[in-house]
Amino acid sequence: MRLTEKVHNYLEEHLQPGDLAIDATAGNGHDCLKIAQLIAPNGRLIAVDRQCAAITASRHRLSTHKLQHLCEWIEGDHGEALQALGQRYPGQASAIVFNLGYLPGGDKSIQTEVATTQTALKACTALLKPSGILLVTAYRGHPGGMAEAEAVAQWMHAYTGLVQCHEPEKNAESTPPILWVAKALELDPNESSAAPDNRLPPGEK
């Protein structure tokens, strides 16, 4: 099974109508569409991409399925966007999805980068609701892709909520992508904070 299908299977397991979900790399809108279908008719999808072409493509995909009204579009960097969203929706996101790299069929020089990806991942800890799911797919075959995947791996292994890593076996021709699945920790019922410090990896408090 392709990792993109696995991501959609996880989304099916975790998302319900009415949920709030975030696509941190909207791209051509395949994940946006899946999310919108699952949270309809009254959920909220926030889709971020720093490229106008990606926002246009994703918006078009949702429009053709009459689901565009569920989505708020943010054209910009996901590090900054998710930090701001953490103030608006603390502890409220049921799922956050990252599909790192560049826009397929688009400008390959515009791709996700280690520093902003790390900022965005850190912001997720304040956004996810208890048991909310974080899905990150990284591609390791293009320049910069391996370094970014290693940075995500490091972050994920420090994050106490990591539950699964899907890493298909390498073959002679290519290095396959890798998918991490993490969950926000369940809150202690005696705690009132929506985003406790213990969700953060060591050194990030």
Ligand X SMILES: C[S@@+](CC[C@H](N)C(=O)[O-])C[C@H]1O[C@@H](n2cnc3c(N)ncnc32)[C@H](O)[C@@H]1O
Residues that bind ligand X (CB under 6 A): 25, 27-31, 48-51, 54, 77-78, 99, 101-103, 110-112, 116
Looking at residue 104, its amino acid is P
Indicate the angle between helix axes 3-14 and 30-39, nearest 10 degrees: 20
CB of 113 to ligand X, least distance (A): 6
CB of 159 to ligand X, least distance (A): 20
CB-wise, 12 or 188, nearer to ligand X?
Answer: 12
Distance CA 38, CA 117 (A): 26
Cα end-to-end distance, the chain, whole Å: 37
CB-wise, 153 or 185, nearer to ligand X?
Answer: 153
User: Which residues, 6 or more positions from 106, have their beta carbon under 8 angstroms from its beta carbon?
Assistant: 51, 53, 54
CB-wise, 19 or 77, nearer to ligand X?
Answer: 77
CB-wise, 105 or 193, nearer to ligand X?
Answer: 105
CB of 31 to ligand X, least distance (A): 4
Phi, psi of 133 (to 5 degrees): -110, 140
CB of 110 to ligand X, least distance (A): 5
Structure-token pair, residue 106: 């688009």
Structure-token pair, residue 95: 């799922």
